[in-house]
Amino acid sequence: MINNITFNVNGRRWQTTRETVSNYPGTVLYRLINDPRFVGQELTINRDGDLFKYVLGFYRNKGVICVPPCVGGATVQNELVAYGFDGNKIVVTLENEHRLATVFLAP
């Protein structure tokens, strides 16, 4: 089975591993990489390519990311919901020192 995965998100290419995406079964990316019709293909997603780095970071960091104020935690939370995460389990907090929002998945 191919381990490296390439996503084309609105014209921007992102690479990761099957292992990273497999951290969250049931999400959109997990279902895409396990769909036999798409094995070995670049997967095209019609979403915001700039926000995808936060989505992929969420997978890579096992459900915790920091988001700058110019993006906003709520924006990333909405994007994560679009990718199949449970919006009721996504928590957004604000760090005062740098004004970064921390987005994490509640247990």
pTM above the 0.85 mark? Answer: yes
Query: What are the φ and ψ backbone dihedral angles of 90, each rounded to 5 degrees?
Result: -90, 125
More confident of the two residues 106 and 84: 84
Looking at the structure of the chain, the number of domains it has is 1
Beta-bridge partners for 15: 6
Q: Which of 55, 51, 66, 74 is nearest to 97 (CA)?
A: 66
Condensed to tens digits (0 to 9), the pLDDT of residues 7-60 reads 999 999 999 999 999 999 999 999 999 998 887 889 999 999 999 999 999 999
Q: Give the CATH number, domain containing residue 91.
A: 3.30.710.10
CA–CA gap between residue 47 and residue 10 (Å, rounded): 6
Condensed to tens digits (0 to 9), the pLDDT of residues 85-104 reads 998 899 888 765 566 677 87
Q: Is 99 buried (19+), middle (13-18) or exposed (0-12) by CB count in 10 A?
A: exposed
Domain that holds residue 69: 4-105
Q: What is the rounded (10 degree) CA torsion for 27, 29, 30, 32?
A: 120
Query: What are the φ and ψ backbone dihedral angles of 105, each rounded to 5 degrees?
Result: -95, 120
Contact 81, 92 (CB under 8 A): no
